[in-house]
Structure 1
Amino acid sequence: MEGSGILRLYEIEYSDLMLLSSSSSSCSHYQEKIIMENLGPLGPGLLSVTNVPDASILRRKLLPLARKLALLSREDRQRILRDHNLGSDVPLKNPDRNVSSFAMQLKYDQGLECIGRKPSHKYENMDGISDFEDDGFDNLEHMFKALGFCMMEIALCLARICDRDIGGNELEQSLLESCAAKGHLIHYHSMVDNIILREAGQRKGTSKSNNHARRKEILLKSNNLETNGNEVRSSEIHANLWQQWHYDYGIFTVLTDPMFLTSSRQAAENSEVSVSSDQECTSPSGHSYLQVFHPNKNKVLMVKSSPESFIVQVGESADILSKGNLRSTLHCVQRPARLENLSRETFVVFLQPAWSKTFSISDYPMEHYNPSFQPLEQAEENNFSDQGQNALTLEIQKIVPPLSARLKDGMTFAEFSRETTKQYYGGSGFQSIK
């Protein structure tokens, strides 16, 4: 919903985070308290980290490559992904896909040496990055790992801070025992991107009139995405999202503040297939288009983060392992209305426990395990806007399987993740036909 309220994230400086997570830290407990308030059961379940060394140049160089990879021919893309040890977990053959994601396992034993260095010497081989061509892929793997290891470091520091407040070292140890995190370079497609992919796929044996009809259909679809901020209809809730409502089921998710690109297209000479160029732009609304459901406020809020900051979200595994002292974040990614040439680029690292990690719910709060949303009938005494929020809450509830349906006492993380994926996206899953 474009009319959603704004959530301005609590920000902590990278240098303060490093100092606060140090075992010899003598810092005030005030910052630790604020961190736990934002990640805890009464907060939104996320915060941001600012002024991270080297983050600006890595983000600026790496993120635009997501779109370039997404629009390459299948053969060229496969070659580049293979050369840089990347894969994908989305069906890249589908020209109407909303998202293209390029993934790599990031191993802690490869990153700990980098993580242990002082910030001023963290990436000794960064000099060449600033010089390479913007549309080249020569440094793709190096940049992917450099940014990924930096984000893993932030997660480990936050885990250490949370462990100290909760007691024990469950979160940090669980991350290290997993041996690896997973990085994703993600391109959220504009409608123009889908037209280009469709035309490229139909180059042979397809008439120009059919291409034109398909292009008109896609653009018509984009023009129907705009919603009334005071009205909530099921079709609108599901139609105007790049990524549907869900919880991440790991421990932490760390992601860059997104980059937005506007693309232009024209027919190539002697061809019916479009060529495209892109240019970075500011967010048209001034926020990230990441939406979260704030359970304590029973509201959907649009996340606003500082440029070039890192956003950290709590996942369900952290919620479970902390026995409810951390609150997992229910979220989605909204697609801007009536902006068919706008794409969104981001880099995400998903950090999770080992597949063999066993979950216990004996001390887990039952109100988190099987949460009850505010009934729509209770909104009768509220204003019109509140009624809209409650209607949206009920619609979200219909497509997000509750934790109690996916987690049983004694489950391993592998079993929990399998059941979660099944209930979201399986043949009879909550979002299997969305």
Structure 2
Amino acid sequence: MEDEVDAEILEPFELNFSDLLILSSSTMNSSSSSSSSISKEEKERLESITRTIMETLGPTGLGLLTITGVPKASDLRQTLLPLARKLALLNNEDRRRILKEHGLGSDVSLKNPDRSVSSFSMQLKYAQSQSSDQGGDSLGGQLDDLNADSFHEFMDDEFRNLGKTFKELGVCMMELGLQLARICDRFFGGKEIEQSILDSSMAKGRLIHYHSCLENIILKGAEKRKGSRKMLVSHPLSCHNSPGNRVSPMPHEGLNMETCPIAAKTCPTSLSNLWQQWHYDYGIFTILTAPMFISACHQPNTEAKDDGFWKSPEQKHLPSGHTYLQIFDSNKNKVFVVRSRPDCFLIQVGESADIISRGKLHSTLHSVSKPVNLKNLSRETFVVFLQPAWDKTFSVSHYPKESSTLNGQCSNKEMNSSSILHRPEQETSKIYQKIFEIIPPLSSRLKDGMTFAEFSRETTKQYYGSSGIQSNR
């Protein structure tokens, strides 16, 4: 197609959780007495990791890394992510009641049967992190509750730990972002990034279900049958409503790249086959779970498909390592498809971090693509957005001229030498030009002295407002 281009596979730098803890601790402070107890070899190893982190998140990197080995997080992910699909496919009345009971809302119109995404959100407070590990409210105890035999017996039981698990995993992810901010600040010689996050006192958590094409058909059909109190997942094309048919992903090793419709080396990207259009996040850090993929079952007794994705109606498979997250590399003018392991957390740099660090951190231009040949595959993920306080004031007047790294296209005249004006090179292919045509330039959204609240409103307006660039997309 005219608007497609081959995307390369990206396996981001993996930071082990144990190293994250050490690098963000006072032990790594050169003035700390405990730093002298670290061997020379260990110091060199940790310093090398720090340099890699900053190169990955800096102007020459992609603004994206992964964190592995976070204790108990994988169990929480396994519990929470399938609930995104279950919530999305409930009728409006039951979903509204359950969301209210657990303190969740939504920032998309859940009554729109044409929606491609269902999002369930909650404000997470940093104070929660101080109480989550005290008393008997441990992660282990929570998981014991979630494994109760009656988990699937009634609808309310199915969601009874929704809010608790949401907060537990959200607080864990908030801590990862704070620790990474501490490492960045220490490398830069300041405390502004971490303090900007702490000053906000809260973050936004978002549980997201990306609808398969089949589910959109089900939603539209159910819209015609308003008044029914049956869950939409009881549709004959679904196979997990009966007891014992719990929604669960197949193990990561269920497929290899040879059996996956996505080519092992390249993958076509376009502007028309996307779950989420190209954009920058405007906060500081965006922390994401590796996505979970769930395949809607075919009608009973359907034999295995030639594509290898369904060996039986009950099985769900995860494409081998693919997240369907796409990253645009402004240094190389290339699109990368991100691949990661299921137990990884992904952390992306947002525009606020780019601004606060004066270009030392590089915001990530990204989108989420749809599987080309898998119409029945849905995508589940959980995201936490770390942002500055609403009254945080941005200054761009001291942006260093040498930080203009986005293809050398920035200028003082446009935006005080900001490295994040989001302008493509003249020689980029048509797909890249189209990507930048739907991204409102930072120079039109950010003015010197603007607060974060003003910046976020202007950004939302220019992306999705009535006259926004992506308002009708």
TM range (shorter): 0.7 to 0.9
Residue 23, structure 1, aligned to residue 26, structure 2: yes
SS of structure 1 residue aligned to 2:271: helix
SS of structure 1 residue aligned to 2:121: strand
Deviation at 1:394, TM superposition (A): 0.3
Matching residue of 1:210: none
Matching residue of 1:151: 173
Amino acid aligned to 1:31? I
Q: Is the 8 A contact 1:114 1:123 kept in 2?
A: no
Superposed CA RMSD in Å reads: 2.6
Residue 101, structure 1, aligned to residue 119, structure 2: yes
Taking structure 1 as reference, are residues 278 and 312 closer, same or farther at Cα in structure 2, changes over 3 Å only?
A: farther
Matching residue of 1:272: none
Rounded Cα–Cα distance in structure 1 between residues aligned with 2:198 and 2:55: 25
Matching residue of 1:258: 291
Deviation at 1:130, TM superposition (A): 3.4
Which deviates the most, 237-246 or 154-163? 237-246
Q: Is the 8 A contact 2:8 2:266 kept in 1?
A: no
Gapped regions of structure 1 (runs ≥ 5): 206-214, 216-225, 268-276, 380-389
Residue 88, structure 1, aligned to residue 106, structure 2: yes
Rounded Cα–Cα distance in structure 1 between residues aligned with 2:226 and 2:204: 37
User: Which protein is richer in helix relative to its size?
Assistant: 1
Q: Is the 8 A contact 1:12 1:48 kept in 2?
A: yes
Rounded Cα–Cα distance in structure 1 between residues aligned with 2:90 and 2:139: 32
Q: Is the 8 A contact 1:320 1:359 kept in 2?
A: yes
Matching residue of 1:413: 452
Matching residue of 1:11: 14
Q: Is the 8 A contact 2:182 2:194 kept in 1?
A: yes
Q: Is the 8 A contact 2:349 2:362 kept in 1?
A: yes
Gapped regions of structure 2 (runs ≥ 5): 29-34, 36-42, 228-236, 238-261, 301-312, 404-416
Amino acid aligned to 2:71? P
Amino acid aligned to 1:47? L
Matching residue of 1:432: 471
Deviation at 1:230, TM superposition (A): 10
Q: Is the 8 A contact 2:326 2:369 kept in 1?
A: yes
Taking structure 1 as reference, are residues 30 and 138 closer, same or farther at Cα in structure 2, changes over 3 Å only?
A: same
Matching residue of 1:198: 220
Rounded Cα–Cα distance in structure 1 between residues aligned with 2:107 and 2:226: 27
Rounded Cα–Cα distance in structure 2 between residues aligned with 1:231 and 1:169: 40
SS of structure 1 residue aligned to 2:296: strand
Taking structure 1 as reference, are residues 10 and 204 closer, same or farther at Cα in structure 2, changes over 3 Å only?
A: closer
TM-score (norm 2): 0.77
Pick from 424, 448, 454: which aligns with 1:373? 424
Deviation at 1:278, TM superposition (A): 7.1
Q: Is the 8 A contact 2:7 2:267 kept in 1?
A: no
Deviation at 1:113, TM superposition (A): 3.9
Matching residue of 2:326: 291
Amino acid aligned to 1:404? S
Matching residue of 2:317: 281
Rounded Cα–Cα distance in structure 2 between residues aligned with 1:372 and 1:88: 32
SS of structure 1 residue aligned to 2:297: strand
Q: Is the 8 A contact 2:321 2:339 kept in 1?
A: yes
Rounded Cα–Cα distance in structure 2 between residues aligned with 1:423 and 1:122: 41
Rounded Cα–Cα distance in structure 2 between residues aligned with 1:278 and 1:21: 44
Pick from 131, 135, 144: which aligns with 2:148? 131
Rounded Cα–Cα distance in structure 1 between residues aligned with 2:114 and 2:172: 33
Rounded Cα–Cα distance in structure 1 between residues aligned with 2:199 and 2:72: 27
Deviation at 1:371, TM superposition (A): 4.4
SS of structure 1 residue aligned to 2:184: helix
Q: Is the 8 A contact 1:291 1:333 kept in 2?
A: yes
Q: Is the 8 A contact 1:187 1:345 kept in 2?
A: yes
Q: Is the 8 A contact 2:327 2:336 kept in 1?
A: yes
Residue 342, structure 1, aligned to residue 364, structure 2: no
Deviation at 1:265, TM superposition (A): 5.3
Q: How does 1:5-404 map to 2 (within 5 A)?
A: 5-25=8-28, 26=35, 27=43, 28-114=46-132, 125-131=142-148, 133=151, 136-203=158-225, 237-264=270-297, 279-283=315-319, 286-364=321-399, 365=403, 366-376=417-427, 390-404=429-443
Q: Is the 8 A contact 2:267 2:337 kept in 1?
A: no
Rounded Cα–Cα distance in structure 1 between residues aligned with 2:124 and 2:267: 43
1:177-213 Cα deviation digits (max 9, x unpaired): 10100101100000111111111111269xxxxxxxx
Amino acid aligned to 2:223? G
Rounded Cα–Cα distance in structure 2 between residues aligned with 1:230 and 1:305: 16
Deviation at 1:131, TM superposition (A): 3.4
Q: Is the 8 A contact 2:363 2:420 kept in 1?
A: no
Deviation at 1:238, TM superposition (A): 2.8
Rounded Cα–Cα distance in structure 2 between residues aligned with 1:345 and 1:358: 35
Aligned length: 386
Rounded Cα–Cα distance in structure 2 between residues aligned with 1:160 and 1:2: 38
Deviation at 1:369, TM superposition (A): 4.1
1:336-388 Cα deviation digits (max 9, x unpaired): 11311000000000110000000000122415143442113xx6xxxxxxxxx
Rounded Cα–Cα distance in structure 2 between residues aligned with 1:204 and 1:231: 40
SS of structure 1 residue aligned to 2:382: strand
Rounded Cα–Cα distance in structure 1 between residues aligned with 2:458 and 2:355: 16
Matching residue of 1:387: none
SS of structure 1 residue aligned to 2:463: helix
Matching residue of 1:383: none
Rounded Cα–Cα distance in structure 1 between residues aligned with 2:266 and 2:350: 30
Taking structure 1 as reference, are residues 230 and 55 closer, same or farther at Cα in structure 2, changes over 3 Å only?
A: closer
Deviation at 1:298, TM superposition (A): 1.2
Q: Is the 8 A contact 2:394 2:449 kept in 1?
A: yes
Rounded Cα–Cα distance in structure 1 between residues aligned with 2:119 and 2:352: 23
Rounded Cα–Cα distance in structure 2 between residues aligned with 1:158 and 1:313: 11
Matching residue of 2:240: none
SS of structure 2 residue aligned to 1:368: coil
Amino acid aligned to 1:426? G
TM-score (norm 1): 0.84
